[in-house]
Amino acid sequence: MHSFILPVLVDLLTDQGITENQLLENTGFGELDLSTAQFLNARQADEVCSKAIKLSGDRLLGIKLGLRLDMVSLGILGYALMTSATVGDVLNLLVRYKRALLPSMRIELIASAGSVQLRSAAAHLPQSLEQFYKDALYTGLVTNLNVLTDNPAATAALELNYGQPEDWAFYESVFGSNIQFNSSRCGLTFDAESLAVVISTSDPVAQDIFRRECDRILANDKHGGMVSERVKQALLAARSEFPTSAAVAQQMHMSESTLQRRLAKEGARFQQLLDQVRYRLALEYLQGTQLPVSEIAALLGFSNPANFRRSFKRWSAATPAQVRQRNTS
């Protein structure tokens, strides 16, 4: 989590009569300089946010934080998001740099026929903390998209995997009436029209600069984030010759059993992460190249194209040919 977010949280709690000293007491952050650009790892972010939830007793704290997280408060990442071309590009960047925002959360884009859903989950966290993170993420995204787009088509349907609260009208004031509580999943769904809406502050040249700076900062970040994220980075770096779980564990200086145990605590499995990486790369190849499906299958480590097609349909509810056709139409 970027340290720029903490002053926003401190200001929010101050309005509720809770001081910065109360928030940071006994957390190890007593001498933390909130004015400098640095990252908190997952444990640190969870600790301070859990303390905020406990002190405030406010179940809407995540939404209230999201309402205050304007792009400028996110530093260089905010500028990268602001200069994106479309809503779809904003979502892709958000997933790319999710460790800078919510290092404990698994955040991904799931494509289906004519829409994309931004999903988040952190089953290893206490329910109140997981809800806090989800509320802040979705509220911050929707609030900023409202500012960055001049087109009302940039709307999304919200699904939440917890019950409708008594103060659900507060959710409605942020997200509108298209909200489903007690869903089996949690995410914001954007249709094709919404994804194509142009960002009013788009600047391709500046965006390239900001993206490269974000990559540089994260590459130098001493905190690796969640183990599952480090595994995915190792798999992405391999691109085609994917290492085994034993090989990845060795890279991370732990035994394979320790790796599996730590992944399980985060609600993840090695094969699941490998599938996510394969799906991400498959979309890149299908949408960004003219490679035949048979070659893409081989690049992703499938023994034959039929196995790749079956797996891809399981991941996306569409065939490779359908995805490629949608991209060219």
Say if CB 139 and CB 160 are below 8 A apart.
Answer: no
Number of folded domains in the chain?
2
Q: How many CB atoms lie within 10 A of CB 201?
A: 16
Distance from C-alpha of 80 to C-alpha of 179, rounded to nearest angstrom: 29
Q: Which two tokens stand for residue 122?
A: 């952190």
Residues 52, 176, single domain; the answer is yes
Query: Domain boundary residue among 174, 195, 216?
Result: 195
Partner residues linked to 198 by β-bridges:
86
User: Hey, what are 114's tokens?
Assistant: 């004519």
| 311-320: average pLDDT | 90
Of 195, 214, 234, at which residue does a domain stop?
195
Pair 168, 250 in one domain: no
Q: Are residues 67 and 185 in the same domain?
A: yes
How does pLDDT run across 238-289, given as a tens digit for each residue? 766 889 999 988 887 788 998 999 888 878 899 999 998 888 888 878 877 8
Q: What is the CATH classification number for the domain harbouring 296?
A: 1.10.10.60
113 — pLDDT class (breaks 50, 70, 90): confident
In a domain, residue 279? The reply is: yes
Rounded distance, CA 41 to CA 96, Å? 17
Structure tokens belonging to residue 45: 């972010």
Q: Is residue 278 part of a domain?
A: yes
pLDDT in tens, 12-38: 999 999 998 888 887 766 555 555 556
Domain end among 178, 195, 212: 195
pLDDT tens by residue, 157-216: 999 888 887 888 888 888 888 899 988 888 999 999 999 999 999 999 888 888 887 887
Query: How confident is the model at residue 223, as a pLDDT?
Result: 47
The three-state (H, E, C) secondary structure of the chain, written as one string: CECCHHHHHHHHHHCCCCCHHHHHCCCCCCCCCCCCCCECCHHHHHHHHHHHHHHHCCCCHHHHHHHHCCHHHHHHHHHHHHCCCEHHHHHHHHHHCHHHCCCCCEEEEEEECCEEEEEEECCCCCHHHHHHHHHHHHHHHHHHHHHHCCCCCCCCEEECCCCCCCCHHHHHHHHCCCEECCCCCCEEEEEHHHHCCECCCCCHHHHHHHHHHHHHHHHCCCCCCCHHHHHHHHHHHHCCCCCCHHHHHHHCCCCHHHHHHHHHHCCCCHHHHHHHHHHHHHHHHHHHCCCCHHHHHHHCCCCCHHHHHHHHHHHHCCCHHHHHHHHHC
Q: Could you tell me if 137 and 247 lie in one domain? A: no
Share of the chain above pLDDT 70, in %: 90
Distance CA 300, CA 279 (A): 9
- Give the strands of the sheet with 187-191, arranged side by side: 106-112, 115-121, 187-191, 157-159, 179-180
Same domain, 170 and 76: yes
Tell me the pTM: 0.67
Residue 55: per-residue pLDDT: 95
Do residue 27 and residue 105 come from a single domain?
yes
In this predicted structure, what is the pLDDT of residue 76?
79
For residue 68, the domain's CATH number is 3.90.1520
Q: Is residue 216 part of a domain?
A: no
**pLDDT band at residue 152, thresholds of 50, 70 and 90?**
low
Both 34 and 177 in one domain: the answer is yes
The string of pLDDT tens digits covering residues 212-250 is 878 877 766 544 456 777 788 778 767 668 899 999 888
Q: Judging by beta carbons within 10 Å of its beta carbon (0-12, 13-18, 19+), is residue 214 exposed, middle or buried?
A: buried
Q: Is residue 214 part of a domain?
A: no
Could you tell me the sign of the dihedral formed by the alpha carbons of 316, 82, 219, 7, in that order?
Answer: negative
- Do 45 and 132 reside in the same domain of the chain? yes
Q: What is the pLDDT of residues 26-76, one digit of tens each?
A: 776 655 555 555 667 777 888 889 999 999 999 999 999 999 988 877 777
Distance CA 137, CA 236 (A): 25
> In the beta sheet, which residues pair with residue 86?
198
Same domain, 154 and 231: no
Phi, psi of 103 (to 5 degrees): -65, -20
Identify the residue whose tokens are 């788009």. 202
Q: Are residues 89 and 140 in the same domain?
A: yes
pLDDT at residue 317, as a whole number: 87
Residue 298: give the domain boundaries.
226-328
- Domain contains 201: no
**Same domain membership, residue 133 and residue 38:** yes
188 and 139 within one domain: yes
**Residue 193: CB atoms within 10 Å:** 14
Can you give the pLDDT at residue 311? 93
| pLDDT, mean over the chain | 84
